[in-house]
Amino acid sequence: MAHIILKAAGFVSRLRKALLDWYDVHGRDLPWREGERDPYRIWLSEVMLQQTTTAHAAPYYHKFLRLWPTVASLAAADDARVMAEWAGLGYYARARRLLECARAVVRDHGGRFPKTEAELLRLPGFGPYTAAAVAAIAFGHPANVVDGNIERVMTRLYAIEAPLPAGRVEVRAAAEQWLAPERAGDWPQALMDLAAGVCRPKAPLCLLCPLREGCDAFARGEAERFPVKAPKTARPRRYGVAFLITGDGGFIAEQRVGKGLLGGMLGLPHTEWRATPWKDSEVGPPMAGDFERAGAYEHVFTHFTLSQSVWRRHAGDSEIQELLRLHNDWQLVAPDQQRALPTVFRKAFAVKP
Ligand code: SF4
């Protein structure tokens, strides 16, 4: 449930007009705003702008329009060519979804983008934000477009204390109050331009802001405190011991099982990665003989930090053959093939006692 106090409708209406007037004068000249509102161009720009700045996306936008000026021409494009032209823009799943979507528009909609948010949402790669943005900007529907920039403006206007992402319900309710049916396509762009140039993350220019009179965060003198972010939870630590067993022909690596962390990749044999450090007496090395305690290193995964000790041993040919016989999933890897290992295991080679 949202817990914001809505503002008086007449007051919102007056400030909304003030922002649209400001947008008419100060709105940015962005390439995808030139000419008529073509849903293909607007969609292309929205996909490219995900996790990418406008300055970085603009040359790609021009290039794609030159190569594939319509959704039908993009749908007919060669996959490898599209991926190659996308190179450098990052997040390559976006390029694959771009092609899937273009083909769905041609196959299922006769080459025309559907006009409603609900229909757009069913297209590949369309999430709530993209569907709302295309519905509003291309088709003039008063859709509730909320991206990170509009979130910032809304959390400040209403001084929303709920940290994001949990506070997004309140942000949506706040943004809903401001929708402008008469200029539905301009409204989200006006908010985004305000967010980019005035309601900036740091040092917002409140004295230049046409919404200042209705801004709760400004009234409190703490605009920059919003949006409130959830405190970062500390990443847990796990401990392991990796066994670096070398022979004359290389080092022992294991083929990891297909699922889970680093599934299907090569790795060094190692103990379980657990929450408490290993005592030497608890470690069961995979072969007899003296292992050198080479040292330890850290590796940060998304969900935990690993502290891994390295135990090293040089084995004779017969010992290596015995290990390979005992472990079907182990192999001897040539010394210059360390790059076949993920970084978390490659680091073991650099550990110095
Ligand atoms: Fe943002 Fe300041 Fe305007 Fe409030 S007054 S919306 S904090 S720029």
Residue 169 Cα distances to 4, 117, 166, 337, angstroms: 10, 19, 7, 50
- The torsion defined by the Cα of 20, 127, 7 and 15, in degrees rounded to 10, comes to -10
Residue 20 Cα distances to 13, 16, 178, 275, 300, angstroms: 11, 6, 12, 56, 46
260 pLDDT more than 80? no
* Mean pLDDT computed over 310-323: 96
pLDDT of residue 105: 98
Residues contacting residue 149 through CB under 8 Å, at least 6 positions apart: 191, 192, 195, 196, 199
211 touches ligand 1 (CB under 6 Å):
yes
Under the banding of pLDDT at 50, 70 and 90, the label for residue 337 is confident
154/160 Cα distance (integer angstroms):
8
pLDDT of residue 258: 66
264 pLDDT more than 80? no
- Cα angle 247-252-257, degrees, rounded to a multiple of 5: 170
pLDDT of residue 265: 78
Ligand 1 centroid – CA 205 distance (Å) = 7
Catalytic residue (one of 36, 46, 213, 224):
46
**Which residue, among 50, 16, 353, 352, has the nearest Cα to 179 in the 3D structure?**
16
- Which secondary structure element, helix H or strand E, spans residue 98, and what is its range? helix 93-109
Share of the chain above pLDDT 70, in %: 99
Q: Let me know how long the chain is.
A: 353
Of all protein residues, whose CA lies closest to atom 2 belonging to ligand 1? 206
Question: What is the greatest pairwise CA distance in the chain?
Answer: 87
Of all protein residues, whose CA lies closest to atom 5 belonging to ligand 1? 212
Ligand 1 centroid – CA 149 distance (Å) = 12
Q: Is 212 helix (H, G, I), strand (E, B) or coil?
A: helix
Under the banding of pLDDT at 50, 70 and 90, the label for residue 136 is very high
- Reported as a single tens digit per residue, the pLDDT across 149-167 is 999 999 999 999 999 888 9
Burial of 154 (C-beta count, 10 Å sphere; 0-12/13-18/19+): buried
Burial of 131 (C-beta count, 10 Å sphere; 0-12/13-18/19+): buried
3-class secondary structure per residue, 270-296: ECCCECCCCCHHHCCCCCCCCCEEEEE
**pTM exceeds 0.75 for this model:** no
Check if 46 is active-site: yes
168 pLDDT more than 90? yes
173 touches ligand 1 (CB under 6 Å):
no
- Reported as a single tens digit per residue, the pLDDT across 326-335 is 999 999 999 9
Please report the atom of ligand 1 found closest to the CA of residue 194.
Answer: 8
Please report the atom of ligand 1 found closest to the CA of residue 208.
Answer: 8
Dump strand ranges (E) for the chain: 237-247, 250-255, 266-267, 292-300, 305-314, 330-333
- Reported as a single tens digit per residue, the pLDDT across 215-231 is 999 999 999 999 998 88
Share of the chain above pLDDT 90, in %: 80
116/121 Cα distance (integer angstroms):
9
* Mean pLDDT computed over 287-312: 94
157 touches ligand 1 (CB under 6 Å):
yes
Ligand 1 centroid – CA 141 distance (Å) = 26
- The torsion defined by the Cα of 311, 314, 320 and 322, in degrees rounded to 10, comes to -70
Please report the atom of ligand 1 found closest to the CA of residue 205.
Answer: 8
Ligand 1 centroid – CA 107 distance (Å) = 45
pLDDT of residue 263: 74
Please report the atom of ligand 1 found closest to the CA of residue 211.
Answer: 3
190 touches ligand 1 (CB under 6 Å):
no
Burial of 80 (C-beta count, 10 Å sphere; 0-12/13-18/19+): exposed
pLDDT of residue 341: 85
pLDDT of residue 36: 77
Residue 62 Cα distances to 18, 53, 55, 225, angstroms: 33, 15, 12, 37
Ligand 1 centroid – CA 241 distance (Å) = 53
* Mean pLDDT computed over 136-144: 96
Please report the atom of ligand 1 found closest to the CA of residue 224.
Answer: 7
Backbone angles phi, psi at 245, to 5 degrees: -105, 115
Residues contacting residue 15 through CB under 8 Å, at least 6 positions apart: 210, 211, 213, 214
119 pLDDT more than 60? yes
37 pLDDT more than 70? yes
Of all protein residues, whose CA lies closest to atom 1 belonging to ligand 1? 199
* Mean pLDDT computed over 187-198: 97
Under the banding of pLDDT at 50, 70 and 90, the label for residue 2 is low
**Which residue, among 84, 9, 79, 90, has the nearest Cα to 47 in the 3D structure?**
90
Average pLDDT, the chain: 93
150 touches ligand 1 (CB under 6 Å):
no
Residues 26 and 55: beta-carbon distance below 8 Å: no
3-class secondary structure per residue, 168-198: HHHHHHHHHCCCCHHHCCHHHHHHHHHHHHC
Select the more confidently predicted residue: 89 or 179: 179
Q: Is 306 helix (H, G, I), strand (E, B) or coil?
A: strand
